Amino acid sequence: MPDGRIDLPLLTTNHPLGRQAVTCEYRCGNACSHDAPNTSGNAYFGDVVRSIVSRRGMLKAGAVLAVAGAGAAALGGAAAADDDSAEQAENGDRHRRPRGMDFKPVAPNTADQVTVPEGYVQSVVIGWGDAVLPGAPAFKFDEQSAAAQAKQFGFNNDFCGLVPLWRDQYLMVSNHEYSTESFMFKGYDSAKPTEEQVKIGWAAHGMSVVVVERDRRTGKITPKLDRRYNRRITATSTFDVDGPAAGSDFLKTKADPTGRKVLGTLNNCAGGVTPWGTVLSGEENFNQYFANGKDVTDPATKARLARYGLASGPSGRKWERFDDRFDVVKEPNEVNRFGWIVEVDPLEPGENPVKHTALGRFKHEGANIHVARDGRVVAYMGDDERFDYIYKFVSKERMRPGNSRYARAHNKKLLSEGTLYVAQFTGDSPDFTPGVLPADGAYDGVGKWIPLAAGDKSFVDGFTAEEVYVFTRLAADKVGATKMDRPEDVEANPRTGLVYAALTNNTDRGKPGKEGPTEINPRGLNRHGHVLEWEEAGGDNTALTFSWRLLLVCGDPNASDTYFGGYDKTQVSPISCPDNLAFDRHGNLWISTDGNQLGSNDGLFATATSGPERGHLKQFLTVSTGAETCGPVIEDKFVLVSVQHPGELDDASADNPLAHWPDGGNSQPRSAVVAVWKPGHRIGS
**Choosing among ligand FEO, Ca ion, none, which partner's interface includes residue 485 (Cβ < 5 to 8 Å by kind)?**
none
Q: Is 192 exposed, middle or buried (0-12, 13-18, 19+ CB in 10 A)?
A: exposed
Distance, in Å, from the CA atom of 160 to the CA atom of 169, rounded to the nearest integer, reads 15
**Choosing among Ca ion, ligand FEO, none, which partner's interface includes residue 284 (Cβ < 5 to 8 Å by kind)?**
ligand FEO
- CA angle at residue 505 from 503 to 511, to 5 degrees? 125
Can you tell me whether residue 538 is helix, strand or coil?
helix
Q: How far is the CB of 648 from Ca ion (least distance, A)?
A: 13
Q: Which is nearer to ligand FEO, 320 or 488 (CB)?
A: 488
Contact 33, 23 (CB under 8 A): no
Q: How far is the CB of 190 from ligand FEO (least distance, A)?
A: 21
Q: Which is nearer to ligand FEO, 382 or 418 (CB)?
A: 382
**Choosing among ligand FEO, Ca ion, none, which partner's interface includes residue 112 (Cβ < 5 to 8 Å by kind)?**
none
485-514 binders of ligand FEO (CB under 6 A): 488
Contact 577, 529 (CB under 8 A): yes
Distance, in Å, from the CA atom of 202 to the CA atom of 265, rounded to the nearest integer, reads 10
Taken in order 464, 470, 472, 477, is the CA torsion positive or negative? negative
Q: For the CA atoms of the chain, what is the radius of gyration?
A: 23
**Choosing among ligand FEO, Ca ion, none, which partner's interface includes residue 384 (Cβ < 5 to 8 Å by kind)?**
ligand FEO
Number of Cβ within 10 Å of residue 678's Cβ equals 21
Q: How far is the CB of 244 from ligand FEO (least distance, A)?
A: 26
Contact 473, 583 (CB under 8 A): no
Which of 608, 604, 612 lies closest to 644, judged by CA? 604
**Choosing among Ca ion, ligand FEO, none, which partner's interface includes residue 102 (Cβ < 5 to 8 Å by kind)?**
none
Tally DSSP H helices, then E strands, for the chain.
Answer: 9, 32
**Choosing among ligand FEO, Ca ion, none, which partner's interface includes residue 24 (Cβ < 5 to 8 Å by kind)?**
none
**Choosing among ligand FEO, Ca ion, none, which partner's interface includes residue 440 (Cβ < 5 to 8 Å by kind)?**
Ca ion
Distance, in Å, from the CA atom of 206 to the CA atom of 184, rounded to the nearest integer, reads 16
Contact 70, 273 (CB under 8 A): yes
Q: Which is nearer to ligand FEO, 504 or 571 (CB)?
A: 504
Q: Which is nearer to Ca ion, 453 or 643 (CB)?
A: 643
284 makes contact with ligand FEO (CB under 6 A): yes
Query: What is the SS3 string spanning 609-639?
Result: CCCCCECCCEEEEECCCCCEEEEEEEECCEE
Which of 116, 110, 111, 114 lies closest to 599, judged by CA? 110
Q: How far is the CB of 488 from ligand FEO (least distance, A)?
A: 5
- Kind and range of the H or E element at 18? none
Contact 541, 498 (CB under 8 A): no
Can you tell me whether residue 122 is helix, strand or coil?
strand
Sequence-ordered list of residues with C-beta below 8 angstroms from that of 514, at least 6 positions apart, any chain: 36, 387, 508
Q: How far is the CB of 212 from ligand FEO (least distance, A)?
A: 23
Q: Which is nearer to ligand FEO, 394 or 672 (CB)?
A: 672
Query: Binder to ligand FEO among 269, 415, 499, 501 (CB under 6 A)?
Result: 269
169-228 binders of ligand FEO (CB under 6 A): 177
**What x-and-dash track marks residues 452-491 binding ligand FEO by CB under 6 A?**
------------------------------------x---
Q: How far is the CB of 128 from ligand FEO (least distance, A)?
A: 17
Q: Which is nearer to ligand FEO, 149 or 504 (CB)?
A: 504
Q: How far is the CB of 491 from Ca ion (least distance, A)?
A: 14
Query: Binder to ligand FEO among 112, 331, 365, 515 (CB under 6 A)?
Result: 365
Q: How far is the CB of 269 from ligand FEO (least distance, A)?
A: 3
Site residues for Ca ion per CB under 5 A = 428-429, 438, 440, 442, 444, 579, 594
**Choosing among Ca ion, ligand FEO, none, which partner's interface includes residue 256 (Cβ < 5 to 8 Å by kind)?**
none
Sequence-ordered list of residues with C-beta below 8 angstroms from that of 455, at least 6 positions apart, any chain: 244, 396, 417, 465
**What x-and-dash track marks residues 562-581 binding ligand FEO by CB under 6 A?**
--------------------
Q: How far is the CB of 126 from ligand FEO (least distance, A)?
A: 20
**Choosing among Ca ion, ligand FEO, none, which partner's interface includes residue 98 (Cβ < 5 to 8 Å by kind)?**
none
**Choosing among ligand FEO, Ca ion, none, which partner's interface includes residue 365 (Cβ < 5 to 8 Å by kind)?**
ligand FEO
242 makes contact with ligand FEO (CB under 6 A): no
Which of 37, 35, 30 lies closest to 307, judged by CA? 37
323 makes contact with ligand FEO (CB under 6 A): no
Q: Which is nearer to Ca ion, 323 or 428 (CB)?
A: 428
Contact 230, 209 (CB under 8 A): yes
Contact 584, 94 (CB under 8 A): no
Query: Binder to ligand FEO among 47, 320, 345, 384 (CB under 6 A)?
Result: 384
Distance, in Å, from the CA atom of 357 to the CA atom of 420, rounded to the nearest integer, reads 10
**Residues making contact with ligand FEO (CB under 6 A):** 177, 269, 284, 365, 384, 488
